[in-house]
Amino acid sequence: MSGTQRHDCVVIGGGPAGATAATVLAQHGRRVAVVERERFPRYHIGESLMPYTWFTFERIGVLDWFEQAACPQKFSVQFVSTSGKVSQPFYFFETIKHPCATTWQVRRSDFDRMLLDNARAKGVEVFQGAAVREVLMDGDRVAGVRADLGGGGSGTFRADAVIDASGRDAFLASRLGMKRRDPDLNKISIFTYYRGALRDPGLDAGATTVAYIPDKGWFWYIPLPDDIVSVGVVAEKDYLYRDTRDPEEIFAREAAECIWIEKHLRPGTRSEPVRVTGEFSYRAEEIGGNGFCLAGDAFSFLDPVFSTGLFMALKSGEMAADAVHAGLAGSGVSAATFEEYGRQMRWALDQFRQLVLSFYNERFSFREFIQAYPDLHPRLVDALVGNIFADLGPLFDALREFSGRGEELPRTSGRPAVGA
Ligand SMILES: Cc1cc2nc3c(=O)[nH]c(=O)nc-3n(C[C@H](O)[C@H](O)[C@H](O)COP(=O)(O)OP(=O)(O)OC[C@H]3O[C@@H](n4cnc5c(N)ncnc54)[C@H](O)[C@@H]3O)c2cc1C
C-alpha cells in the first residue's frame, strides 16, 4: 500500500488499547485503520488480567478465546511478606457473584495477536510493519498521520479523528511535550521467565503472587501457559543497582534473597533473557484535543503492582472509541468531545494511584488495614478487581488516614486540551 487513505478514524498502535478502540469503532459502523509498527505476534510484558476486563472482552466478542488458549485461570491475588509469610489470598469470587470473578494470565504475544485479529474480523483495516512518523495538521486540528511502511515506502492516513494508542512510546504526548513523570513512583523493573517452576496447588495454581523485598519493592510471580512463569522485581533504581548494573546479577541476587520466590524458582530453569524497564509512572497533561485523543499507556502508565495496565488500556480503548463515535455523529471531534472521557480516566487513575502509594508506604500493611476496617474488605476487593467506578470514596479516605497521608493527592492532569 502507498498513497493516501481516508478513514473516519486512524489508530496509532495495535496493542490492547488500539485494537479495542478500533474494534468498538468498527462495531459502531465506522471506517477505521490501525497502523502498527511491529508484525504480530511480538513480545510484550504485562500478563496478568483484572476481573473487570471481562466486560470489555464480552463487548468485543473474545471471551471464548481464553479457554482455547489454555490461559491459567486467576482466581486471586496473594501477598507474601519479607519473612515468607503468605497472606490469605483475595479470592475474587468471595465478593463478586458474576463470571468475571474468574480472570486469566495471558502470554501477550498470543493475546495481543488475538485482539488485533478480532479487530480485523470486525472490519478494521490493519497495517502492520507501519511506523507512524508524523502527525498531519489541518490548521489547529490533527487530521491524520504519515507512516513508514517498510521497504522505503510511506503512507498517508487522513481521518476525522486520530487515537494514539502507541503504548509507553506515547507518540503524541512525547511530541507535544506533555508527558509528565510521577515523581512519587520512580521505579524500575528487572524480569524474566522460568520453565518448570513451582505452582501452588488447586485454586491458587494460577494466582498472581506479590512478594515483598526489604526496600520498598516487590516481586511478581505470574503462571503462564505451557509451564512458563513470568517473574520480575520492581524497586527503586538506586536500590537495585546498589552493587552492580548487570541485570542478570541483580535478578539472581534479589531472587536468592526473597524466600518465597527462591523456593518457587528452585525446580525451574530460566527460559528467556533478563530484561529491564525504566520510567515507571507518568501521565499526559491532556487526554485529547481537536481531532485526537490518547488511550492506554499512551495517556498514562501506573506502577504495575495491581495489574491495572491492561484493564485501563482496554477500558480507555472502549471509552475513547465511544467518545470519537459520538463526536463524529455530532458536531465533530474536538477537545470538548473528550471532557467526560478525561474526567473518568483521571478519577480511575487517581484511585489506583492512591492504592499504589499506600502499598509503597512503609507504615501500611493490607492485613492490618483490613483488621482495622473489616467493613471495607469488599471495597478493597472492588479496587483490586477493577470495579473502579464503584463508590470507593470511604476506602480511599480510610487508606489515607491509615497510612498517615491525611493530605490530598496532588492535583493530577489529563484534561482535554481546550482549543489545542
Ligand atoms: C514491568 C511491567 C509489568 C507489567 N505487568 C502488568 C500486569 O501484570 N498486568 C497488566 O494489566 N499490566 C501490566 N503492565 C502494563 C501493560 O503492559 C500495559 O499497560 C499495556 O500493555 C498497555 O497496552 P497499550 O495498548 O496501551 O500499549 P502497548 O501494549 O504497548 O501497545 C502499543 C503498540 O503501539 C505500537 N507503536 C508504538 N509506537 C508506534 C508508532 N510510532 N507507530 C505505530 N505503532 C506504534 C507498539 O508496537 C505496540 O504494539 C506491566 C508493565 C510493565 C512495564
State if residue 18 touches ligand 1 by the CB under 6 angstroms criterion: yes
State if residue 208 touches ligand 1 by the CB under 6 angstroms criterion: no
Q: Is the pLDDT of residue 158 over 50?
A: yes
Is 359 inside any structural domain?
yes
CA of 203 to the centre of ligand 1 (A): 29
Give the ligand 1 atom nearest the CA of 298.
26
Is 373 inside any structural domain?
yes
State the chain's mean pLDDT as an integer. Answer: 91
Is 310 inside any structural domain?
yes
Q: Residue 71: its pLDDT value, please?
A: 96
**Whether residue 328 is found in the same domain as residue 344:** yes
Q: Between these two residues, 90 and 333, which has the higher pLDDT value?
A: 333
Q: Is the pLDDT of residue 392 over 90?
A: no
Scan for cell 488458549, then name that residue: 69
Range of the domain at 153: 1-70+108-182+282-420
Q: Is the pLDDT of residue 390 over 80?
A: no
- From the list 121, 120, 147, the residue with the least C-alpha distance to 132 is 147
Is 77 inside any structural domain?
no
Give every CB contact of residue 106 below 8 A, 6+ residues apart in sequence. Answer: 47, 49, 66, 69, 71, 224
**Whether residue 261 is found in the same domain as residue 355:** no
Q: Residue 2: its pLDDT value, please?
A: 59
Q: Residue 1: its pLDDT value, please?
A: 61
CA of 129 to the centre of ligand 1 (A): 17
Summarised one tens digit per residue, pLDDT across range 94-113 is 888 999 999 999 999 999 99
Q: Is the pLDDT of residue 141 over 80?
A: yes
**Residue pair 338/293 in contact by the 8 Å Cβ criterion:** yes
**Whether residue 223 is found in the same domain as residue 261:** yes
Q: Between these two residues, 406 and 375, which has the higher pLDDT value?
A: 375
Q: Residue 420: its pLDDT value, please?
A: 27
Q: Which residue minimizes the CA distance to atom 6 of ligand 1? A: 46
State if residue 310 touches ligand 1 by the CB under 6 angstroms criterion: yes
In angstroms, the Cα distances linking 88 to 249, 370, 377 are: 32, 11, 12
Question: What mean pLDDT comes out for the span 237-265?
Answer: 96
Q: Between these two residues, 255 and 67, which has the higher pLDDT value?
A: 255
Give the ligand 1 atom nearest the CA of 17.
25
Q: Residue 408: its pLDDT value, please?
A: 43
**Whether residue 312 is found in the same domain as residue 266:** no
Q: Residue 159: its pLDDT value, please?
A: 98
**Whether residue 198 is found in the same domain as residue 247:** yes
Q: Residue 357: its pLDDT value, please?
A: 86
State if residue 305 touches ligand 1 by the CB under 6 angstroms criterion: no
CA of 226 to the centre of ligand 1 (A): 23
CA of 397 to the centre of ligand 1 (A): 31
State if residue 16 touches ligand 1 by the CB under 6 angstroms criterion: yes
Q: Which residue minimizes the CA distance to atom 51 of ligand 1? A: 46
pLDDT cut 90: percent of the chain above it? 73
Question: What mean pLDDT comes out for the span 21-39?
Answer: 98
Q: Is the pLDDT of residue 413 over 60?
A: no
CATH of the domain at 167: 3.50.50.60
Is 94 inside any structural domain?
no
**Whether residue 198 is found in the same domain as residue 286:** no
Give the ligand 1 atom nearest the CA of 132.
42
Q: Residue 227: its pLDDT value, please?
A: 96
Q: Residue 414: its pLDDT value, please?
A: 43
CA of 115 to the centre of ligand 1 (A): 13
- From the list 110, 99, 121, the residue with the least C-alpha distance to 51 is 99
**Whether residue 239 is found in the same domain as residue 269:** yes
Q: Between these two residues, 316 and 397, which has the higher pLDDT value?
A: 316
CATH of the domain at 247: 3.30.9.100
CA of 347 to the centre of ligand 1 (A): 21
Q: Is the pLDDT of residue 212 over 50?
A: yes
**Domains of the chain: total:** 2
pLDDT cut 70: percent of the chain above it? 95
Q: Between these two residues, 346 and 412, which has the higher pLDDT value?
A: 346
Q: Is the pLDDT of residue 407 over 70?
A: no
Q: Is the pLDDT of residue 411 over 80?
A: no
- pTM of this structure: 0.94
pLDDT bucket at 5, cuts 50 / 70 / 90? confident
Give the ligand 1 atom nearest the CA of 311.
11
Give the ligand 1 atom nearest the CA of 13.
34
pLDDT bucket at 87, cuts 50 / 70 / 90? confident
**Whether residue 243 is found in the same domain as residue 298:** no
**Residue pair 231/219 in contact by the 8 Å Cβ criterion:** yes
Q: Is the pLDDT of residue 311 over 50?
A: yes
Give the ligand 1 atom nearest the CA of 18.
25
Is 88 inside any structural domain?
no
**Whether residue 310 is found in the same domain as residue 368:** yes
Question: What mean pLDDT comes out for the span 184-205?
Answer: 95
Q: Residue 371: its pLDDT value, please?
A: 87
Q: Is the pLDDT of residue 31 over 60?
A: yes
**Residue pair 346/293 in contact by the 8 Å Cβ criterion:** no
- Helix (H) or strand (E) holding 190, with range, is strand 187-195
The whole-angstrom separation of Cα 10 and Cα 160 is: 8
Q: Residue 161: its pLDDT value, please?
A: 98
State if residue 296 touches ligand 1 by the CB under 6 angstroms criterion: yes
State if residue 166 touches ligand 1 by the CB under 6 angstroms criterion: yes
Q: Residue 418: its pLDDT value, please?
A: 35
